[in-house]
Amino acid sequence: MTNLSLRGRFGLPEGSSNTVSQIITATMEQGLVKGDPNAPDSRRYARYIPAWA
């Protein structure tokens, strides 16, 4: 999952990146998702996977 893919799932415009980033951060804090270890180091291109994966 990426910021772009989550915005698409929610049908949000590109200007909603900050909102989606906050959602991703909250789900990471709850332990529901984690950073994809195979993703680039850049925060801009970050990807996330389910915590159980």
Domain boundaries, the chain: 3-50
Confidence of residue 1 (pLDDT cuts 50, 70, 90): very high
Confidence of residue 43 (pLDDT cuts 50, 70, 90): confident
17 φ/ψ angles, rounded to the nearest 5 degrees: -60, -40
pLDDT over 90 (residue 34): yes
Taking alpha carbons only, the member of 5, 53, 49 closest to residue 27 is 49
- Residue 51's identity, in one-letter code, is A
> Residues 1-23: what's their mean pLDDT?
93
Q: What is the pLDDT of residue 53?
A: 86
Q: What is the pLDDT of residue 32?
A: 97
Three-state DSSP string of the chain: CCHHHHHHHHCCCHHHHHHHHHHHHHHHHCCCEEECCCCCCCHHHCCEEECCC
